[in-house]
Amino acid sequence: MTLTQVPHHIAIVMDGNGRWANKRFLPRIAGHKQGVDSLKRCAKACDARGVRVLTVFAFSSENWQRPAEEVSGLMELFAFALGREVAELKADGVQLRFIGDRQGLAPKVLRGIESAEATTAQNTRLVLNVCFNYGGRWDIVQAAARLCQQGLAVTEAHLNQTMSLSHVPDPDLVIRTGGEQRISNFLLWQSAYSEFFFSDLLWPDFDESALEAAIESFAQRQRRFGKTSEQVDANPPAKE
User: What track of x and - describes contact with ligand FPP for positions 157 through 186 (by CB under 6 A)?
Assistant: ---------------------x--------
Q: Which is nearer to ligand FPP, 32 or 97 (CB)?
A: 32
Q: Which is nearer to ligand FPP, 7 or 35 (CB)?
A: 35
Q: Which of 125, 131, 173 is nearest to 4 (CA)?
A: 173
In whole angstroms, how close is the CB of 33 to ligand FPP at the nearest point? 8
User: What track of x and - describes contact with ligand FPP for positions 65 through 84 (by CB under 6 A)?
Assistant: -------------x--xx--
Q: Which residues pair with 96 in a beta bridge?
A: 128
- Which residue is closest to ligand FPP by CB? 18
Q: Which residues pair with 194 in a beta bridge?
A: none
Residue 134 binds ligand FPP, judged by CB under 6 A: no
Subset of 7-36 contacting ligand FPP (CB under 6 A): 14-19, 32, 35-36
Known catalytic residues are 15, 63
Give contact residues for ligand FPP (rule: CB under 6 A). 14-19, 32, 35-36, 39, 58, 63, 78, 81-82, 130, 178
